[in-house]
C-alpha cells in the first residue's frame, strides 16, 4: 500500500557517504547512531511504502528476533528526536508498519534515477559521486545483501550514464570532459574492454598517439595478469588504428576549458592490478 504524500524538508545523500540536510536551511542533520542511519536509509529508499515492523526488525537485528519490534520502536524514537527540529511529521506510523512520507524527503539516488531515465545525463553525472552507502558497514547479512543489490543496480545505471555522456562530450569536441567521464566509467570495471576501448580512443583523439598507446599497453598487461588471457581482437585492432594515426589529435585544435580537470590533458593514469 502506498502512502499519500505532500512537500520536502529533509534531503538525504546516499552516494558515497551517508549525509542528511535540512532542505530549508542546508544545515547538516546529525543522526545519532549507525542503526538509525540504516533504518532511515532503508525507509527513504522505500519512501511512500508502508514497511512491516517485523521486516525491519529482521533486517537490522537478525539475532534478536524476540526484541526486534522493540528495537525498531527505540530506533524510530531516536530518529524522530533527531529529525523533529526539521520535520515533525516525516513518518507515518501504525501498530504494524512504518513509512516515510515521499513528499517530505528527497534523496540524491532518486534524483539521479530521474535524471538518468529522462536522458539528462549531465545532471545524473553530477550526482553519481561514489558507491551507494559506501561507508555503511551493516552487521546484518540481509541488510548487506540489500545494499549490494542496490549498488549493483545503481552502478549499472551510472555506467550507462557515463558511457552516453562521454560520447556526447566527444561529439561536441569537449575532450577533457569526455575523458574525465570515461575514466570514471572504467573504474567500475577495468577489465571491461569495451569501456577501455572508449577511453583509448578518446586519449588518441585528444591527448595524442603516444598517450593512447602507453595506456593501451597497460590495459593489455592488466588483462593478461588478471584474466590470464589475451586482449580482445577489437582492442588489438583499435591499437593498430592508433599506431597508424587514424585518430585526429584535437587537443591542439581546441582551447582547453580552464574549469576542466587538467590531469586528463596530455597524460593517462597508471593502471594497477585489481583487489
What residue has cell string 536551511? 25
CA atoms within 13 A on the CB side of 60: 28
What is the pLDDT at residue 271? 54
What is the pLDDT at residue 140? 85
Residue 157 has pLDDT above 60, yes or no: yes
Average pLDDT over residues 215-223: 96
Q: Are 50 and 59 in contact (CB under 8 A)?
A: no
Residue 32, C-beta contacts closer than 8 angstroms, at least 6 positions apart:
78, 82
DSSP string, 212-239: HHHHHHHHHHHHHHHHSSPPPHHHHHHH
Ranges of CATH 1.25.40.10 domains, the chain: 173-275
Average pLDDT over residues 19-34: 92
What is the pLDDT at residue 102? 92
Residue 16 has pLDDT above 80, yes or no: yes
Strands (E), the chain: 10-13, 19-22, 51-52, 91-93, 97-100, 105-107
Strands 91-93, 105-107: pairing kind = unpaired
Residue 272 has pLDDT above 70, yes or no: no
DSSP code, position 85: T
Mean pLDDT of the chain: 87
What is the pLDDT at residue 78? 95
DSSP code, position 81: H
What is the pLDDT at residue 258? 33
Residue 116 has pLDDT above 60, yes or no: yes
Ranges of CATH 1.10.10.10 domains, the chain: 10-107
Q: What are the phi and psi torsion angles at 165 (to 5°)?
A: -70, -35
Q: Give Cα separations from 210 to 34, 196, 242, 252 (angstroms).
A: 49, 16, 9, 15
Least confident of 14-23, 216-225, 243-252: 243-252
Question: Residue 259 class from Cβ within 10 Å (0-12 exposed, 13-18 middle, 19+ buried)?
Answer: exposed
Could you give the CA distance from residue 6 to residue 99 in angstroms, rounded to a whole number? 14
CATH code, 173-275: 1.25.40.10
Could you give the CA distance from residue 88 to residue 93 in angstroms, rounded to a whole number? 13
**115 falls in which pLDDT band (50, 70, 90)?**
very high
Strands 91-93, 51-52: pairing kind = unpaired
**Closest alpha carbon to 13 in 39, 36, 45, 35:** 45
* Percentage with pLDDT > 90 across the chain: 74
* Percentage with pLDDT > 70 across the chain: 86
**Closest alpha carbon to 64 in 140, 5, 169, 154:** 140
Could you give the CA distance from residue 79 to residue 91 in angstroms, rounded to a whole number? 10
Does 10-107 carry CATH code 1.10.287.70?
Answer: no
Average pLDDT over residues 23-38: 92
What residue has cell string 542533520? 29
Amino acid at each position: 500500500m502506498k502512502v499519500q504524500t505532500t512537500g520536502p524538508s529533509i534531503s538525504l545523500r546516499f552516494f558515497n557517504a551517508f549525509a542528511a540536510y535540512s532542505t530549508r536551511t542546508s544545515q547538516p542533520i546529525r543522526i545519532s547512531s549507525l542503526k538509525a542511519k540504516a533504518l532511515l536509509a532503508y525507509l527513504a529508499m522505500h519512501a511512500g511504502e508502508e514497511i512491516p515492523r517485523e521486516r525491519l526488525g529482521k533486517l537490522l537485528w537478525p539475532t534478536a528476533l524476540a526484541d526486534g519490534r522493540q528495537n525498531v520502536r527505540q530506533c524510530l524514537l531516536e530518529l524522530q528526536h533527531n529529525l523533529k527540529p526539521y520535520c515533525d511529521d516525516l513518518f507515518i506510523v501504525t501498530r504494524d508498519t512504518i513509512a516515510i512520507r515521499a513528499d517530505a524527503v528527497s534523496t540524491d539516488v532518486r534524483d539521479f534515477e530521474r535524471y538518468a531515465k529522462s536522458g539528462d545525463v549531465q545532471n545524473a553525472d553530477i550526482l553519481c559521486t561514489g558507491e551507494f552507502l559506501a561507508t555503511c558497514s551493516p552487521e546484518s547479512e540481509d541488510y548487506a545483501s540489500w545494499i549490494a543489490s542496490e549498488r549493483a543496480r545503481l552502478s549499472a545505471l551510472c555506467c550507462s550514464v557515463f558511457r552516453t555522456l562521454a560520447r556526447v562530450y566527444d561529439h561536441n569536441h569537449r575532450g577533457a570532459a569526455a575523458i574525465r567521464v570515461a575514466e570514471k566509467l572504467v573504474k567500475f570495471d577495468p577489465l571491461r574492454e569495451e569501456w577501455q576501448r572508449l577511453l583509448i580512443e578518446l586519449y588518441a583523439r585528444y591527448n595524442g598517439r603516444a598517450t593512447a598507446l602507453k595506456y593501451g599497453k597497460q590495459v593489455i598487461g592488466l588483462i593478461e595478469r588478471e584474466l590470464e588471457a589475451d586482449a580482445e581482437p577489437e582492442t588489438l585492432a583499435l591499437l593498430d588504428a592508433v599506431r597508424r594515426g587514424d585518430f585526429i589529435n584535437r587537443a591542439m585544435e581546441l582551447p582547453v576549458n580552464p574549469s576542466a580537470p587538467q590531469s586528463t590533458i596530455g597524460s593517462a593514469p597508471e593502471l594497477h592490478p585489481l583487489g
